[in-house]
Amino acid sequence: MIRSLKSVIASALALFLIASPAAWAKPPVWVAHGAQATVTIFGSVHILPDKLDWEPQALKDALQSADELWFETPIDAADLLDAARLALAKGLLPPNESLLALLPTDADRAKVADTAARLNVPLDQLNRLRPWLAELTLAQAAYARDGASADQGVERQLADGAAQAQRHAFETAEQQISMFADTAAADQVASLMDSIRELQEDPDAYRRLTREWLTGDLKGIDRDAIASLKATSPALFKVLLTNRNAAWRATLLERLRRPGKVVVVVGVGHLIGPDGLPQLLRDSGIRVDGPRP
C-alpha cells in the first residue's frame, strides 16, 4: 500500500480515454493564513506519467511570488544520490538471510515470485532486499511498466521553478528512509503483501486513484489508499502519516509567525481527513482556505 499512498499513478492515455468532463479539474490547493505569512499547501503525487496536465493556477500563482519552497526532503541531484545509497545500505539483508525466508507462508512466497516475474524483476536480486525495499522495488517496476517515473512527479517538475524562492525540507533523506527501515519486520511484510495483493487483484487502482487526485476527490483517495494502509498496518500508518503530520504542523505554526510567502509541496496523503495537515492547522487556530474533511 506504500505504492498507492505515496505515488498514485496511471497511464495518461488510459486516463483521458475514460475521463468524464469533470476529470479536467485540477488537484486542490490550501492556503494557511498567519499573522504575517501565508502558506500555500499542495498535495503531490511523487511519480506520474509524462505530459499530464495537473498544475492548478492557484499553485502557479503562489510559486511566482513565493519566498520559500518546502518539500518533504531535499530534491537536488546530490541529495537524491545520497538517498539512493542510503536506501541500499539500509535495505540489504545480511548474507545469511533472504526475503522469501521472512515470509510466513508458501503462498506468500509464491505471490512474491509471481509478481516479480510479471514485472521483470530478477527474483535473486529481490530476495536480497528487506521487505520495505522489496516493496518499493516492485512498485518502481510497476511504475515503469505503466510509463510513469519520478522524473515526471510533481516534485521533480517543480524543482527548477520559483527560482527566487529559498528551498527548505521538513526532513532529511536519512530520516525518511529510516521510517521504512526501522519499522518492525512484521509490519514491513504486511505492507509488502498488501501491495502484492493490490497489484494482482486491483490492476485499475492506480488509474482510479490518479483520477481521484486530478479531480480533487479527497474522499476517494482516503477510501482507496489511506484507509487501507491504516487497516493493514496501523504502526506503519502512524510512522508514515500521523507522526510526520504532527511534526510538520509544529514547523508551519512557527513559520506562520514570521513574514513571507511560502509554498509547501508534500504527498497528498498528508493533507486528507481530520488528521491531515490542513485540519491540524485549523485545530491550532489557523485560518485555512480549501477543502475540509
pLDDT tens for each residue of 217-274: 999 999 988 887 788 778 888 999 999 999 999 999 999 999 999 999 999 999 999 9
Q: What are phi and psi of 44, to 5 degrees?
A: -95, 165
User: For position 5, what pLDDT does the model report?
Assistant: 41
Average pLDDT of the residues in 132-150? 88
Q: What kind and span of H or E run contains 269? A: none
| Residue 94 DSSP code | P
Question: In sequence order, what DSSP letters do the residues of 227-264 get, joined into one string?
Answer: HHHHHH-HHHHIIIIIHHHHHHHHHHHHHTTS-EEEEE
User: For position 257, what pLDDT does the model report?
Assistant: 95
Would you tell me how many other CB atoms lie within 10 Å of the CB of residue 112?
24
H runs (alpha helix) in 25-130: 57-65, 77-91, 99-102, 106-118, 123-126
* pLDDT bucket at 143, cuts 50 / 70 / 90: confident
pLDDT(160) > 60: yes
Amino acid at 234: P
pTM of the model: 0.86
Do the Cβ atoms of 70 and 168 come closer than 8 Å? yes
Burial of 52 (C-beta count, 10 Å sphere; 0-12/13-18/19+): buried
User: For position 16, what pLDDT does the model report?
Assistant: 28
What distance in Å separates the CA atoms of residue 199 and residue 211, rounded to the nearest whole number? Answer: 18
- pLDDT tens readout for residues 30-49: 999 998 899 999 999 888 88
What distance in Å separates the CA atoms of residue 237 and residue 242, rounded to the nearest whole number? Answer: 7
User: For position 207, what pLDDT does the model report?
Assistant: 76
Do the Cβ atoms of 198 and 191 come closer than 8 Å? no
What distance in Å separates the CA atoms of residue 144 and residue 53, rounded to the nearest whole number? Answer: 19
Q: Which three cell numbers stand for residue 113?
A: 515470485
User: Which residue in 56, 48, 78 sits closest to 144, CA to CA?
Assistant: 48
SS3 113: helix
CA angle 227, 279, 1 (to 5 degrees): 20
